[in-house]
Structure 1
Amino acid sequence: MLASKKIIIIGCGGSGKSTLARALSKKINVPVYHLDKLFWRDNWQMTSKPYQQKVINNVISQDNWVIDGNYGATMTLRIAAADTIIFLDRNRFVCLLNVFKRFIKYKGKSRPDMHDNCPEKIDFDFLKWILTFPEKRKPSIYKMLSASKGSKNIVILKNSQQIRLFLASFH
């Protein structure tokens, strides 16, 4: 059970960050912010890093929140403000399967956690990012988590059962 109400959720694409963020937000009754929705503009145009930092500063100044997404330009700000860091450390092939399921479900449409005019897509760079996440991204995430140990509540969830049990711990 979490005492905090300032929570960030990070993990590979397709790990379930947005799904967990929505469910957790409902369970603990705090607003949820999806970085994909905040940082992308029409037709998959990314906002500038200064804009992203301004948006995050506005969000983290609030009393409570759940924020999902990675985005290195704002990671330090979010970690500093968060009470809890949840890392979805899922198998890359589970993430790929989830991305393909999401593509089929939202093909031609924008998903709820994405900017309105960004229809779901899969491209080579995104697939490569997922496939290389364990080698290229995960070590730095664990280093960051280790540096935050003691000052932040760290939750690492590796599979669907752990995620379900984690959510079930909130009544």
Structure 2
Amino acid sequence: MSRNRIMVIGCPGAGKTTFSNELGKRLKLPVVHLDVLNWRDNWTPVSRETFDELLLKEVSCERWIIDGNYGRTIPLRLKYADVVVYMDYSKITCILGALKRVVRNYGKSREDMGSNCPERFDLDFIKYIWTFNEANREKYYEVLSKEANIEVFVVRNRREATQLMDKLIYVAFCR
């Protein structure tokens, strides 16, 4: 089975971007951050139509890792994906991850965001993280359970994510 198109989803703060960047580097796969497609200067989102056009262009490529949620686009990405990595972490882990990211990058624009979107502390975003699993976990498991032709990996902590990365790299280089 091919592993050239990998979706990475999960709660904000779980480490999707860090995981995707490292896996992309080690597997020599291009990494697409959905936030880069969505955000323009000063946290201005693109139109839904523009986002969908940009995403369709990316999923149509032969090789990629796509990092991010954007729930309404999961069915489209699943049509093209070979592998899904669902980072189903605790809300505490995700909030701590998001807070660490804010502290490390405060006032700077990250490469996995749109241009000129400086990192900031946003209490509403922390609340969103707190309720993310309750709002999304069941839907994610339901959607992923219907995918017979896609390898689905669920990791529940950073140790499991590291083990999965090692497994994906080992299999890729042993083919």
Category of TM-score, reference length = shorter chain: over 0.9
Structure 2 CA distance, aligned partners of 1:74 and 1:47? 15
Asked if 1:45 corresponds to 2:57, the answer is no
2:133 is aligned with what amino acid? P
Residues 76-111 of structure 1: per-residue CA shift (max 9 Å, x gap): 111111011110001110100011110010011011
Asked if 1:158 corresponds to 2:159, the answer is no
Q: Any gaps of 5 or more consecutive residues in structure 2?
A: 171-175
Cα RMSD of the aligned pairs, angstroms, is 1.2
Structure 1 CA distance, aligned partners of 2:30 and 2:65? 6
Q: How do 1:85-104 and structure 2 match up within 5 A?
A: 85-104=84-103
**Alpha-carbon contact 2:37-2:55 (below 8 Å) kept:** no
Q: Any gaps of 5 or more consecutive residues in structure 1?
A: none
1:162 is aligned with what amino acid? E
**Alpha-carbon contact 1:52-1:73 (below 8 Å) kept:** no
Asked if 1:121 corresponds to 2:120, the answer is yes
Give SS of 2:3's match: coil
**Alpha-carbon contact 2:39-2:115 (below 8 Å) kept:** no
Residues 46-86 of structure 1: per-residue CA shift (max 9 Å, x gap): 11111111011100111110000011232211111101111
Residues 23-58 of structure 1: per-residue CA shift (max 9 Å, x gap): 111121110000111110111111111111101110
Structure 2 CA distance, aligned partners of 1:34 and 1:129? 19
Asked if 1:69 corresponds to 2:43, the answer is no
Give SS of 2:76's match: helix
TM-score, with length taken from structure 2 = 0.92
**Alpha-carbon contact 2:42-2:116 (below 8 Å) kept:** yes
Q: How do 1:12-27 and structure 2 match up within 5 A?
A: 12-27=11-26
2:52 is aligned with what amino acid? Q
TM-score, with length taken from structure 1 = 0.94
Give the % identical residues. Answer: 37
Give SS of 2:118's match: coil
Aligned residues: 169
